[in-house]
Every structure is written in C-alpha cells, then in structure tokens.
C-alpha cells in the first residue's frame, strides 16, 4: 500500500511512524516552517500548485489513499484534497485532533472578528497566538501585542505596538503563567487548534482570570470521513471497506 499523508503536525508524524515500513508513506509538508521535524518514510516539501497541481501529482504518482493530517486551520489544502480525491475516486480521510472545549472563551469565526472583539472589549495588552498569517488582522489595533510565532511575521502586517516572541511548542503551564504575568496580559487570542502541546496557555489564562478570544476552526468539507486519533486512522487504512 502507498499513501499520501498531508502532514506537518504531531499526529501526522505519529501516523507515519505507526505505518512505516509496512506501508509506503509519502508525507507532504508545506515548507513554511524552517527545520521541520521530519516523519518516517518519504518526504516531499512544498505546495502542489492548487487543485490542478494536486490532481496532476496524484495522477503521476498513484496512491491507494490520501490522509489529511494537516493543521485544523489549513482549510485550503483540506478543501483541495477533498475535491481532488472525490474527482479521482480516491479513498480520503481527515485526521483531526479534537477541538478544545471553548468554556468561557469568546468564540469568533475569523482573525478579523477577533481583532474587532479586542477593540470592542477594550483589551490593551494582548497575547496573540494565532500564527504569523493571522497577525495582519490586528495591524490597525491600538492595543499592545505579545505575538508568539514559529517564524517572524511580515513587517508590514505587524501592529504599531508589539513584541515578537519566536518560539515553538510544546509549552509548560508554569512558563505560560510567567508569560501572562510578566507581560501583564489582559486577553489571550488563540485559534482552537486543539491538542495538548499548546493547551497550557488556556489553563494559565483560566487560572489568572484572563479572558480568551478563540477563533473557531473551519468546518471539514461535507461528506469527508473524519477521525480523531492515529489509531482510528490506522484502522481505517487497514479496513478493506475504506
């Protein structure tokens, strides 16, 4: 069996380890993160070039199934994979880690709505953890931002008052408490990425009574099979009914 694994997440690497070497795994990474952790098996780095590029690649490199284990907010590649697999009749699965329960968080549907909420609520010192691509929605804000990202955001997207903290998880609860306290944070803005690696910031915010603005994750395309665990993905790949 050969599968295309759309990866870049811890779940994708765990799935590649679980399958390799019995299954030929070709992991595809977007290439946006420098020095990424590489999964077991073959690796390709870089985009496909949209729907047509992915369709061409899958035609030239036949696979038995496609597993999408990308970040829950990688909506474009998820939509492209769903469309191409439907067109080609390829078995297709989305492995999506469970979302965090929102609790008392202010739920919003986009980075732009999160920026509007920051302004409406009058927050002045914001811990922004939506990733480098989400920073632009806040560039006209009057608040001060502690921006945590793996790679530096483009300078023209940055708000006037900010500090960039380059960092890569996993994060510890005690460290997150210190970040919130030392920077006098009065609001946390995050995406509902789910998972344990970045969960401690939510626990720290709850302990300190810091309000959370949470961007809800995009919906998976209609009709696409979804599982929440690596074990379920392995079971699906092993099933003749897939």
Q: Domain check: are 78 and 20 in the same one?
A: yes
Q: Is the confidence at residue 35, as pLDDT, over 80?
A: no
The whole-number pLDDT of residue 43 equals 95
In this predicted structure, the answer to whether residue 185 has a pLDDT above a threshold of 80 is yes
Domain co-membership, 211 together with 225: no
Count up the domains in the chain and report the number.
Answer: 2
Strand order through the sheet with 162-166: 106-108, 212-215, 187-191, 125-129, 144-149, 162-166
Please check whether residues 210 and 182 belong to one and the same domain: yes
By DSSP bridging, strand 125-129 and strand 187-191 are parallel
User: What pLDDT, on the 0 to 100 scale, is given for residue 215?
Assistant: 98
Predicted confidence at residue 222, as pLDDT, reads 93
Distance CA 94, CA 24 (A): 18
Structure-token pair, residue 29: 């990474």
Host domain of residue 58: 2-98+218-238
41/225 Cα distance (integer angstroms): 24
Instruction: Mark whether 93 and 192 lie in a shared domain.
Output: no
Average pLDDT, stretch 165-170? 92
My answer on whether 148 and 133 are in the same domain is yes
pTM of this prediction? 0.90
Which CATH number fits the domain that encloses residue 80?
3.40.50.720
Query: Which tokens sit at 24?
Result: 């030929």
Q: Specify whether 82 is located in the same domain as 134.
A: no
- The pLDDT assigned to 165 comes to 96
One domain, residues 46 and 125: no
DSSP, collapsed to helix, strand or coil, labels residue 209 as: coil
Same domain for 92 and 121? no
């Amino acid at each position: 069996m050969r599968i295309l694994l759309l990866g870049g997440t811890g779940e994708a690497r765990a799935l590649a380890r679980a399958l390799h070497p019995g299954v030929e795994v070709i992991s595809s990474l977007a290439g946006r993160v420098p020095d990424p952790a590489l999964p077991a098996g073959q690796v390709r780095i870089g985009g496909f070039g949209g729907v047509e590029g992915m369709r061409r690649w899958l035609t030239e490199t036949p696979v038995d199934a496609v597993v999408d284990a990308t970040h829950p907010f990688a909506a474009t590649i998820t939509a492209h994979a769903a469309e191409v697999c439907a067109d080609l009749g390829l078995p297709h699965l989305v492995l999506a880690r469970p979302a965090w329960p929102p609790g008392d968080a202010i739920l919003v549907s986009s980075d732009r709505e999160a920026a509007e909420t920051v302004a409406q609520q009058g927050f002045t010192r914001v811990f922004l953890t939506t990733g480098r691509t989400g920073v632009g929605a806040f560039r006209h804000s009057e608040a001060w931002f502690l921006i945590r990202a793996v790679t530096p955001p483009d300078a023209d997207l940055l708000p006037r008052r900010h500090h960039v903290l380059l960092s890569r998880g996993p994060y510890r609860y005690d460290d997150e408490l210190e970040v919130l306290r030392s920077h006098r944070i009065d609001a946390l803005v995050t995406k509902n990425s789910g998972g344990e690696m970045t969960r401690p910031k939510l626990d720290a915010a709850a302990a300190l009574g810091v309000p959370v603005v949470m961007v809800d994750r995009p919906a998976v395309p209609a009709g696409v099979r979804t599982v929440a665990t690596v074990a379920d993905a392995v079971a699906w790949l092993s099933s003749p009914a897939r």
